[in-house]
Amino acid sequence: MTSPSLQHLFFGTIQLLVVILGSVQGSNTTTPLVIWHGMGDSCCNPLSMGAIKKMVEEEVPGVYVLSLKIGETIIQDTENSFFMDVNAQVAFVCDQLSKDPNLKGGYNAMGFSQGGQFLRAVAQRCPSPPMKTLISVGGQHQGVYGLPRCPGESSHICDWIRKQLNSGAYTDFVQKHLVQAQYWHDPLNEELYRTHSLFLADVNQERVVNETYKKNLQSLEKFVMVKFLKDTIVDPVDTEWFGFLKPGQAKETETLQESILYKEDRLGLAEMDKAGKLVFLTSDGDHLQFTREWFNTKLLPYIR
Ligand SMILES: *[C@@H]1O[C@H](CO)[C@@H](O)[C@H](O)[C@H]1NC(C)=O
Ligand SMILES: *[C@@H]1O[C@H](CO)[C@@H](O)[C@H](O)[C@H]1NC(C)=O
């Protein structure tokens, strides 16, 4: 039979362990980060998203970084960035995030290029788990009207895509099967865009104002948008700050603040702007070109 003093010692030890474990967990105060790659890229390319993940893990010890893979394999992931229905991609991601125990308490999100507008759709459609801060790095929030150059080594596919877009981005077939068509925004055909764009016109409240989208987006702590001043891939580059070409022509641009979307506050962005939740940053390079020093100074403060 155990003596009372030993029992005390035993239970005392368990209590001590619980306290230690509790404090270790308690000290893990980093917010997880979810990243979504751009067109022609994948979750795990060591020269792009792999490098970003590693960099963040080095700068923020203990942080959980999830680099999204859309599909079963890395090849599928890359193909899906060209050919998978964007609404289905967003639903796929929402499902994955809701099942990830590491994200229960909320997460920050960082989208690269088209991953920027796709993660905004996640914020608007899927409030659980909660996204805290959204960082869009060269995202195209008002879509594109041109694809002058392609990133990386996908120029062959890109030439083909450009042809499809120019010949009829709003036909049902192209809309359903070409990712870039789903954020193609033709300022000369705003009505066609409004009625036929399966993805962007919906998330930008062009058809109806969905109050849920507004409420969900507004629950972000910050919405950070990075524009690349020497961008040769995104046209017009204003879209990276939620601006675009003025309707009815293809020369003059307008800022977010000058747009109907903002003036009617269809998406709640004007209110967020007044509350100091919108952050507009620049990088002096071409599309997605930045240094580690720039990243650490400009973006890291929002994900620590
Ligand atoms: C912090 O929490 C995350 C997610 O729960 C976990 O993946 C990570 O390993 C933890 N880090 C430390 C240092 O405990
Ligand atoms: C508004 O968005 C929510 C979230 O995606 C969706 O469930 C709902 O059906 C939408 N309502 C309308 C009118 O589109």
Consecutive 10-residue runs of the chain (304 residues): their mean pLDDT?
54 52 59 96 95 97 97 96 96 98 97 98 98 98 90 75 88 92 95 96 98 98 98 96 96 97 98 98 96 97 95
The pLDDT score that the predictor gives to residue 17 is 52
The pLDDT score that the predictor gives to residue 158 is 82
Interaxial angle between packed helices 86-99 and 114-125, expressed in degrees from 0 to 180 and rounded to the nearest 10? 60
Reduce the DSSP state of residue 304 to 3 states and report it: coil
**Stated pTM of the model:** 0.88
Catalytic positions are 113, 231, 287
The pLDDT score that the predictor gives to residue 147 is 84
Short-list 220, 41, 196, 194, CA closest to 119: 220
Using a 6 Å CB cutoff, which residues line ligand 1?
28, 62, 64, 102
The pLDDT score that the predictor gives to residue 1 is 46
The pLDDT score that the predictor gives to residue 15 is 53
Cα–Cα distance between 144 and 30 in angstroms, integer?
35
Q: What is the CATH number of domain 30-143+209-302?
A: 3.40.50.1820
Which residue CA neighbors atom 14 of ligand 2 most closely?
Answer: 210
Reduce the DSSP state of residue 117 to 3 states and report it: helix
The pLDDT score that the predictor gives to residue 160 is 86
Beta strands in 23-83 (DSSP E): 33-36, 65-67
Cα–Cα distance between 62 and 20 in angstroms, integer?
17
Query: What are the residue boundaries of the structural domains of the chain, listed by start?
Result: 30-143+209-302
The backbone torsions φ and ψ at residue 223, rounded to the nearest 5 degrees and listed phi first, read -125, 105
Sheet with 65-67: strands ordered across: 65-67, 33-36, 107-112, 131-137, 222-228, 278-283
The pLDDT score that the predictor gives to residue 277 is 98
Rounded distance from Cα 198 to ligand 1 centre (Å): 38
